[in-house]
Structure 1
Amino acid sequence: MKKQAKISNAVIKRLPRYRRYLKELRKKGVDKISSNEFSTLIGYTASQIRQDLNNFGGFGQQGYGYSVDGLYHEISAILGLDKQYKMVVVGAGNLGQAIVNHTYYYKSGFIVSAIFEVNPKLIGLRINDIEVMDYENIVEYVEENEIDIGIICTTMDAAQEVADKLCFAGVKGLWNFAPVDIETPGHVAIENVHLTDSLYSLAYHINGAQEHNKK
C-alpha cells in the first residue's frame, strides 16, 4: 500500500462510503467489480473512483477490475480500521448516551471505556454497563488507560476546555459534537460534527428541489 503525505480531505471522506458498499458486496458473495460497475452502484464516476484509489496504489487489474474482498481490506487498513481504539465520552446527556448506545450495538473496533459528566445526578449511572464517572478525574483516567479518542458531547461553552484537558492527557483524536469548532494541537486530529449544519443543508435541498419542480 502506497502512502503519500498529502491526500485531500475530499478523498478521505469518500473512502468510508467505498468501504460500506464493498461490505455489502462481500455479504452478497460478489468476488470482483469493475470501476464502471462500482460507479453505477455508488454514484461517483468511474474516473473519480480510479483517481481516488490510485492515491494509495494500484488495487485493480486491467481486464479484471477490483477484488471486492481485497479492496475492502485495503481501504479498512488505509482508514486504520484494522485496529482497535479506546474512547471516552464527555457528557452523559441524550446525545452522549445515544453515541454510547450506537458504538455498543455497532461494534467495529471503537470501544467506549468510560463516560464523564459534571452533573452529580448522572455520575454513578451505567449506560450499557459503562460507568458514568466524575469529570474531575478525566485526565488521570485518560493517562492511565491510554485512551485514543475523546468524544465531546458537552455544551458549546464547555467544549474547548474539555478538548484542552483531553489533549493534555494524551488523546490522539477528538470527535466533537458540541456546536462550536474547537482548536487542538497539531498532533491531535479533530473531526467537528455539526448536526444542525447537516439539517440546514437538508432544508436547502428540499427547497431547491421544490423550486426546480416549479419551473
Structure 2
Amino acid sequence: MTREYSNISMAVIRRLPKYHRYLKDLLDQETYRISSKELSKLIGFTASQIRQDLNCFGGFGQQGYGYNVEELYNEIGKILGLYQSYPTVIVGAGNLGQAIANYTNFDKFGFSTLALFDSNPKMIGMRIRDIAVHDVDQLEEFIKKNQVRIGVICTPKKVAQDVATKLSEAGVQGIWNFAPIDIKVPEEIIVENVHLSESLFTLSFLLSQEFDQE
C-alpha cells in the first residue's frame, strides 16, 4: 500500500473492488449519477458505511447531487492501481492455472499473463489462449528478462513454498497464491492468499447452522 493510503484499514481496501464492480454495472446501464442511499440498496453496505469508506480517499460526492458514477469508477480504479501494467506469470498449468489464464477480464485492467510454467513434460509446449507453457526450470530467467511483477501459484501444496521462493528471488513484487499453504517470502513481497477450501468451509458452516435451526 502506498504511503498516501497506509493509514486506511484493509477492511476498507477490500471493499473497493466491490464498489468498482457495481459502478461498472451502472455505467453499462447508462446510469451516471447515484446517491449513497441508492448505492446502498445495490451493494448491501449501509449508506453511512459507503460515505465513510469513500471519504477516506477524499470528497467524491456532492450534497444534494450524490456521486458522479463515471468519475467515482475512474477514481477507485486509480486507487486500486488498475491503470498500471502488471506483467504476470502462472506457475502450475493444471485446471486452475488454465482457468485463470483463460479469464480475459484480467487483461482489461493491466494484468497480462505472459506465460505459464509447469514441471509436467506433457504440458510443456502447450498453448492456453495462445499463452505458452514453459518448463518451470526457465521460470527465474523468464521473470528477470520480462520484468514480471506478479507470480500466480497454482501448484500442489508440497511445491508451493519452493515456487514462492523462486518467484521472490527472481524479482516479482507480488504473489497471488492459490495453493492451500501459507507461504513465507521476504516482507517486501506482497502476498494475497486465495484458499478456496476456506471459503467453501465457511459456506458449509453457514449451511449447517441453517439446517440446525430448521
Give TM-score scaled by structure 2 length.
0.95
Matched, 1:107 2:107: yes
Q: How does 1:25-174 map to 2 (within 5 A)?
A: 25-102=26-103, 104=104, 107-108=107-108, 109-174=110-175
Task: Measure, in 2, the Cα distance between the counterparts of 1:118 and 1:107.
Answer: 26
Task: Measure, in 1, the Cα distance between the counterparts of 2:42 and 2:95.
Answer: 35
Secondary structure of residue in 1 paired with 2:76: helix
Matched, 1:185 2:173: no
What amino acid is the match of 2:94? G
What percentage of aligned pairs have identical amino acids? 54
Gaps of 5+ in 2: none
Structure 1 residues 6 and 105: CA distance shift in structure 2, 3 A: closer
Task: Measure, in 1, the Cα distance between the counterparts of 2:187 and 2:74.
Answer: 29
Q: Deviations over 1:112-162 (max 9, x none)?
A: 100111111111111111111011111110001000100001111111111
Q: Deviations over 1:184-203 (max 9, x none)?
A: 21211100100011111111
Cα shift at 1:98: 1.0
Q: Number of residue pairs matched?
A: 211
Q: Is the 8 A contact 1:3 1:56 kept in 2?
A: no
Output the aligned Cα RMSD. Answer: 1.4
Q: Deviations over 1:168-195 (max 9, x none)?
A: 1111100000000112212111001000
What amino acid is the match of 2:15? R
Cα shift at 1:105: 5.6
Runs of at least 4 residues of structure 1 off by over 4 A? none
Secondary structure of residue in 2 paired with 1:3: helix
Task: Measure, in 2, the Cα distance between the counterparts of 1:7 and 1:166.
Answer: 28
Q: Is the 8 A contact 1:89 1:96 kept in 2?
A: yes
Q: Is the 8 A contact 2:106 2:112 kept in 1?
A: no
Gaps of 5+ in 1: none
Give TM-score scaled by structure 1 length.
0.94
Task: Measure, in 2, the Cα distance between the counterparts of 1:194 and 1:84.
Answer: 25
Point out the more displaced range, 67-76 or 30-39.
30-39
Task: Measure, in 1, the Cα distance between the counterparts of 2:186 and 2:58.
Answer: 30
